[in-house]
Structure 1
Amino acid sequence: MKKPTAIIWVLRLGAAILTIGSLYLFAPWRAAIGYLMPLPATVEAQVDAATDYGLDGIIVYVDRAGHAPEFYAAGWHDRDLRIPANPHALFKIASISKLYIAAATAMLVADRQLDLDDTVADFFPDLVGQLANAERITLRMLLQHRSGIPNWVEDPDRWAITSGEVNDYLALVFDDPAEFEPGTRYQYSNTNYLLIGNILDQALGYPHQQFIRAEILDPLGLSNTFASVDDVEIERIPGGYDPGWPQENFRPRVHHVPGGTMVASAEDTGIFLRALNDGTLFTDTEQAIYSSIYEYGHTGLLAGYSSIARYHPDIDAVVVQFVNTSGGNSWTATEVVYDRVVRILRREG
């Protein structure tokens, strides 16, 4: 057999290098390699390096017990307009909104305006026959994502809805078979919190976001948190308030479905999360109810918006991260950066 010439060996080596380079640049390996790299000296250095992971812009807020709040930002607030990332920008927090709805529900249950064992059929008799197992799915199951109701987000017809009406999204799952028997297992479904929003509106007799404003946001002094983009003053949008989108694209992307609508700054989100976890938001009864129905941190994802908000009890720290990039491998990169930030904080003690 003829031995490869030197030129052949060079070509083979070049192909191998290109293959490895492609894996690093275009596959999840890029984020995985980033996870394994030595940690930088500071959180600021890690945030500055986030753009190396393919993220356009990033905001990080850190609230550590015994320290002043820390704000970090890197990359672009708006890449096309060349506006730098702003650590105080407003952001569509997507499913982090579910924490506020769960908190409001706990308050109403404690006040006996709601009962966790009431069923969807009790609240909405007209859904019997349209929504699978409506007469057996309880409010508790909705809150815990144990209802078996399909996730409306996974319906391909969702893009055809232009009305902005919540019930049009709910109708996407009418007559669909249940994913599983109610209460038998966990499966995340945005339809659960769509229904809870409607239940709260019915119990209160007015929009549940008004209750959230009066009982949660105002008492905590959260003036940079809003029910949706519709509630944000237009003058606040130019110059650094909507990461990822220029002003003319901000309004058309309003997300109206309960459990994913809210807009907030990273600081406001962190203040809320601290209060949710340390007991200052609730009475003892409300805290016990909340602990039985939902989690104490969350992630969020909308087109162009990726967010993580968690409390870390081992270091008594709240860390909120907003990234104005989604799709592809960006979520993996987002989680890697967040994990590295927390590891740096643990190292610092």
Structure 2
Amino acid sequence: MKKWKKITLKVLLACFLTTTSIYLFAPWEYGLYYLKPVPNSIEQQVHEATSQGIDGIIVYVDEANKPARLYASGWHNRQEKIPAYGNALFKIASIGKLYEAAAIAKLVASNQLKLDQSLADYLPQLAERIEYANKITLRMLVEHRSGIPNFTDQEGFDWASNSLDVLSLVLDKPADFPPGTDYAYSNSNYLLLQKIMTETLGYPYSRFINNEILLPLGLNRTFFSIHQIDTNELMSGYYVGYDEDLKHLDQGYVASAQDVGIFLRALNDGSVFTEAERKIYASLYEYNHTGWVLGYSSIARYHRDIDTVVIQFTNTTGEDRVILTGIIYDRIMSILRSQ
């Protein structure tokens, strides 16, 4: 496989900008598509998405007091001509941060972790290798206010590597800002939170999430690695301009759209928490998220105004496809709000 270049700042920023601001910078053809009349149904919109440069798409919709619905179109596997299907597994990338933030809230509520304890307290072996480690608190890590550089922005990071020690890319590097003085989304924060949970528990943090979140919610199609699944069930992932299927890369959490949707509703209505845990989480982190890794783009949001969870998975990235996926998602929301 060709070595992947670090994803451009434009694409990374696009993952986190609001849809409105994204449209200001969208390619002209996406702007025209945004203005195109919206179909009458979500099913039509999902099928239409594959004509815009998306190989495959899965959408899960859970409206209050209605049965949840799954939609799919395009290819589950382009090379083998397997059609997309709703219950397929998908790499959800940074959506996994919601599960980890929820786990932190549970551990804080049970006094196994403390939000004001420092990174140096929990991981003393890194105290001299991360600037301000003695001032960076657990809360700052969760909230992306630590100032620790993002490993995906560092020279030497390779999106296509399964063996890279990504933490090493930020050790002994100057902080982006003094802890608590600013905000900057950093994957390094959650890598460190995983290590803190594992060392505190004395067993893998993933087991805690499985026992305390996944099992109680009946989520049996959520996993922490492609090595835990039958990869035939994993939707293929594609990057524009490359013919290779990227499903073989181990890029973290894997789940079905339905599993993500069930978790997201439980997160937002608080049913995944005790009352104490719910209050802690509310002070810590967000309730919706997007995800992006090579070949996989995902959106998970709860819309309080219509009491609806909408999960969208698309398996084509590159060349501003992240902007297109935002437009597709907004068109689906327009359909839902017009019903």
Which band: TM-score by shorter chain? 0.7 to 0.9
Match of residue 48 from structure 1: 47
Query: Which secondary structure state, in structure 1, belongs to the residue aligned with residue 107 of structure 2?
Result: helix
Counting only pairs closer than 5 Å after superposition, residues 1-349 of structure 1 correspond to structure 2 as: 28-159=27-158, 164=163, 168-232=165-229, 234=230, 237-238=231-232, 240-244=233-237, 250-251=247-248, 253-255=249-251, 261-348=252-339
Structure-1 separation of matches of 2:155 and 2:54: 27
**C-alpha separation in 2, matches of 1:341 and 1:273:** 18
- Pick the structure with more helix per residue: 1
Task: Give, in angstroms, the shift of residue 247 of structure 1.
Answer: 11
Higher Rg of the two aligned structures: 1
Partner secondary structure for residue 75 of structure 2: strand
> How many positions carry a matched residue from both structures?
310
Partner Cα distance (2:246, 2:266) in 1: 33
Distance 1:250 1:54 in 2: 19
Deviation (angstroms), 1:83 = 1.2
Change (3 A) 1:302 1:161: closer
Give me the whole-angstrom Cα distance separating, in 1, the residues matched to 2:160 and 2:126: 20
Identical aligned residues as a percent: 52
Q: Distance in 2 between matches of 1:54 and 1:163?
A: 27
Unaligned runs of 5+ in 2: 1-25
Quote how far apart the aligned CAs of 1:124 are: 1.5
8 A contact 1:85–1:243 mirrored in 2: no
Q: Is the CA contact 2:89–2:256 (under 8 Å) kept in the aligned structure 1?
A: yes
Q: Residues 87 and 258 of structure 2 are in contact (CA less than 8 Å); yes or no, is this contact kept in structure 1?
A: yes
* Deviation for aligned residue 1:204: 0.6
Q: Is the 8 A contact 1:60 1:71 kept in 2?
A: yes
Structure 2: distance between partners of 1:131 and 1:288? 30
TM-score by length of 1: 0.85
Q: In the TM superposition, what is the alpha-carbon distance from 1:248 to its structure 2 partner?
A: 8.4
**CA distance in 2 between partners of 1:42 and 1:97 (Å):** 30
Q: What is the deviation of 1:250?
A: 3.5
Deviation sequence 1:33-75 (CA, Å, 0-9, x none): 2112221111111111102221111000000001111111111
Aligned to 2:8: none
Report how far residue 128 of structure 1 moved. Answer: 2.2
Q: Aligned-pair RMSD on alpha carbons?
A: 1.9
In structure 1, runs of 5+ residues without a counterpart are 1-26, 256-260
